Amino acid sequence: MAYSKSLAQQIRTILATELPPRIFEEEVEEKKMFGGLAFIIRGKMSVTVSSRGQELVMVRIGKEMEKQVLPKNGASVTLMKGRIYHGYIDLDGEGQKDLSNWIKLALSYNQELTQK
C-alpha cells in the first residue's frame, strides 16, 4: 500500500492541532485501508491518504456539506472502482493546498456522526 508518508505526517500534525489532546491520543486510530492509511476518529473514518495513480487525500464531510463546497478546484466527489461515494471528497495536489480547512470540515462531520 503506497501512500505519502510526509502527507500522512502533515495530516497527523493538523489533527493534533485541531483535536483536544485526549481525543487525539485516545480516539484517533490509524488503519491501512483503501490502498493507503485511514485516520479513524471516535470510531469513524474521517481522513485517508492514498495513492490511486496520484497522491490523494480523501476527507469525509457528509452529503450536505458536499453540496455546499463543490465544485472547487482540486476537490471532487470520491470515485473508487467506478463507484461514486457522495459525502467523501478526494483532494488532489491543488485541493491539498487547503488541507487544514478540509480536515476541519471532516472533523466537524465526525462530531455530528459521533453525537448521534
The residues that bridge with 37 in the sheet, in sequence order, are 32, 49
pTM of the model: 0.92
d(CA 46, CA 28): 10
- pLDDT by residue for the chain (116 residues), tens only, comes to 578 899 999 999 999 999 999 999 999 999 998 779 999 999 999 999 987 667 899 999 999 999 999 999 999 999 888 999 999 999 999 999 999 999 999 999 999 998 86
**Contact indicator for 103, 15 with CB cutoff of 8 Å:** yes
Q: Of all helices (H) and strands (E), which one includes residue 106?
A: helix 99-115
